[in-house]
Amino acid sequence: MFESRPKRTKARIEAELYLDDGSHILCRIGVGQGERLSDALNDERQFLPVETMQGQVIILRKTTIAKAVQLDQKMENANATDPFEILGVPRNVSDDDLNHAYRGLCHANHPDKLLAAGMSQQFVEMATSQMARINDAYERIRSLRKQEHEAAL
């Protein structure tokens, strides 16, 4: 009546899920060995079990997930040295848009957020390093703008 099949070994991926209601969840998602986060999100199941950083298991309907960010992935701009590239803004960005981009990156990458969520020290260190890069890039752009403004006077 019941078939016995071998249990698959699961790896756990730490991720931040942004839901369609505007909320987000820091969680761990079980995936098969060699599978990626995208495999778990795109398989045939309609629901996805996730473990919150507090250890609570919740079952999410996949259609409620608007965006998923794997926390141990390398940042696209990890090797960038150009401050505009680091912040992901064009060179002609307005001061308001620059401030908005900077604040958004600070919110998304702040190490205290990961520490409070119980993330591993590796992720906290990665976020600390990323925040230093973000702060440096922002200050370099602000300094450049100040020099350009003073030269124009």
CATH topology of domain 10-70: SH3 type barrels. (2.30.30)
pLDDT tens figures, 53-91: 778 999 999 999 999 988 765 454 566 789 998 888 999
pLDDT tens figures, 107-142: 888 888 878 877 777 778 878 888 999 999 999 999
Annotated domain spans of the chain? 10-70, 83-152
CB 71 within 8 A of CB 123: yes
Domain 83-152 has CATH 1.10.287.110: yes
Q: What is the pTM of this model?
A: 0.54
